[in-house]
Amino acid sequence: MNEFSSRRESLFSQISDNSLVLVSSGSEQIRNRDVEYDFRAESSFFYLTGFEEPDAVLCLLKKAGECQSILFLRTKDVEQEIWQGRRLGVEAAPEQLKLDLAFDIELLSEEVESLIEDIQSVYFSFAELADWAPMLEGWLSSQKAKARQGVQATHTLKDADNLLHEARLIKSSAEIEIMRKAAQISMKGHLAALKIARGGSADTLWEYQIQAALEAEFKHRGSPRVAFSSIVAGGENACVLHYTENTLPIQQGDLVLVDAGAEYQGYAGDITSTFPANGKFSLPQKRLYELTLKAQQAVIALIAPGVLYNELHQTAAKVITEGLVSLGILKGNVDSLMEDNAYKPFFMHGTGHWLGMDVHDVGDYKQQGEWRALQIGMVLTVEPGIYISEEVGKAKGVDAQYWNIGIRIEDDVVVTETGADVLSVGLPRTVAEIEAFMADKTAS
């Protein structure tokens, strides 16, 4: 039994008898006239099948104690395949994907109308309610019409995400090794960004040139696509959290913030590095960078099974608050400043997020209103940051030497029995390591 079959079996064990689960791969979306966006299968669909074609639906049927995995997909079509690419096809799908049955996607409504008879519960993603509603209405109406024939209509609709998101939150050993590879490919891309920045060319270096270097390295090392739109932000652009234009020149005195990750076998890497374009931190840059790194290291040291998720952010926020007080950027008692969230104008986002098939991966952060405890197999990012735009600096009375500095440091971490395993290890992280790497034009 392969990994995908095991996941389907696990899901079958969690649903009651006489239930049907519907999971769609999604459809291609138009970018502009006659051009589609690069297609990526919906993550939970891929999690259960390993199949990446559009216009496919997985049906998991549990009826009278019997379980069947049924896939609806596009048929083989020579003319379409000449234009649009090869298809797996209905005949090959059961054996290749370890499924029980496969049908033409055009038969979805007709076949499910038959399958759904006497099914008590139907599971689907409530996030896709608008997509499923027309078919569900038709299926349920058909059942109601057959009541005098003894057909019992479905009476419960359930959100499949409640089961699938929790399953995806805890990674298997196989998933963790794939994520380690995604993180290491991402790390190599960030090293490529550092290398092109240290080149010492007299020509102006542009943000998009750094982006090109790191994304080329991703592909060179086996990543088919980025996990999210790459951020390459020079100078004041780093104070925009989701800056993705990447179109401006980088000045020699600037810090460069790079937030980028490779996707590998459906899983995301997500790393942020910050470095000086000229290879040397100014004193204000160094102070803020070392404070951010101190906060990140404190959080990573805290990670262990049983630690509550919000303790990670509270730890980072306190380290940053203490540091901002010592630098004179914040003034007052640290505990009082923490109570007032005084750090938020300078550190306005969380300290991390779940990581997996989606870069902001699924899984609840709270259970029954309480922050959940970390468990072995969870993968998360650790990414504290400090951002002082000129506007915020003026408004908060911050010394001008700190204006237009944005810093974030992010790594990918898996929770283990003994604490934290940093999947993205390998980048120079301290000021001394970064400056040495930037100064050594031969270092790999």
| Residue 57 contacts residue 25 (beta carbons within 8 Å) | yes
Backbone angles phi and psi of 321, in degrees to 5: -60, -45
- Is residue 383 annotated as a catalytic residue, yes or no? yes
Q: Which member of 117, 207, 322, 383 is catalytic?
A: 383
- Is residue 349 annotated as a catalytic residue, yes or no? yes
Which residues are bridge partners to 388 per DSSP? Answer: 405
156 burial via Cβ count (<10 Å: 0-12, 13-18, 19+): exposed
Q: Which member of 33, 34, 148, 203 is catalytic?
A: 34
Instruction: Give dist(CA 309, CA 212) in Å, integer.
Output: 35
| Residue 425 contacts residue 187 (beta carbons within 8 Å) | yes
Instruction: Give dist(CA 399, CA 386) in Å, integer.
Output: 15
Backbone angles phi and psi of 57, in degrees to 5: -135, 130
3-state helix, strand, coil in the chain (%, to 5): 40, 20, 40
| Residue 277 contacts residue 253 (beta carbons within 8 Å) | yes
Q: Which member of 91, 242, 335, 440 is catalytic?
A: 242
Q: Which member of 87, 313, 349, 372 is catalytic?
A: 349
- Is residue 242 annotated as a catalytic residue, yes or no? yes
Which residues are bridge partners to 276 per DSSP? Answer: 255
Q: Which member of 175, 263, 408, 412 is catalytic?
A: 408
- Is residue 155 annotated as a catalytic residue, yes or no? no
Q: Which member of 123, 264, 343, 387 is catalytic?
A: 387
Q: Which member of 217, 410, 411, 412 is catalytic?
A: 410
- Is residue 264 annotated as a catalytic residue, yes or no? no
For residue 205, the one-letter residue type is L
- Is residue 220 annotated as a catalytic residue, yes or no? no
Q: Which member of 40, 87, 313, 353 is catalytic?
A: 353
Q: Which member of 360, 364, 365, 433 is catalytic?
A: 360
Which residues are bridge partners to 256 per DSSP? Answer: 234, 275
Instruction: Give dist(CA 159, CA 173) in Å, integer.
Output: 27
Q: Which member of 175, 259, 322, 358 is catalytic?
A: 259
Provide CB contacts within 8 A for 104, sequence distance 6+.
Answer: 72, 73, 74, 75, 90
Backbone angles phi and psi of 382, in degrees to 5: -125, 110
- Three-class SS state of 147: helix
| Backbone region of residue 363 per phi and psi (left: phi > 0; alpha: psi in -120 to 50; beta: other values) | left
**DSSP code of residue 15:** S
From residue 285, alpha-carbon distances to 205, 276, 402, 431, 433 in Å are 20, 9, 7, 10, 15
- Is residue 390 annotated as a catalytic residue, yes or no? no
Instruction: Give dist(CA 3, CA 49) in Å, integer.
Output: 9
**DSSP code of residue 17:** S
Backbone angles phi and psi of 261, in degrees to 5: -150, 150
Q: What is the largest CA-CA distance in the chain?
A: 83
- Give me the active site residues, please: 34, 242, 259, 270, 349, 353, 360, 383, 387, 408, 410
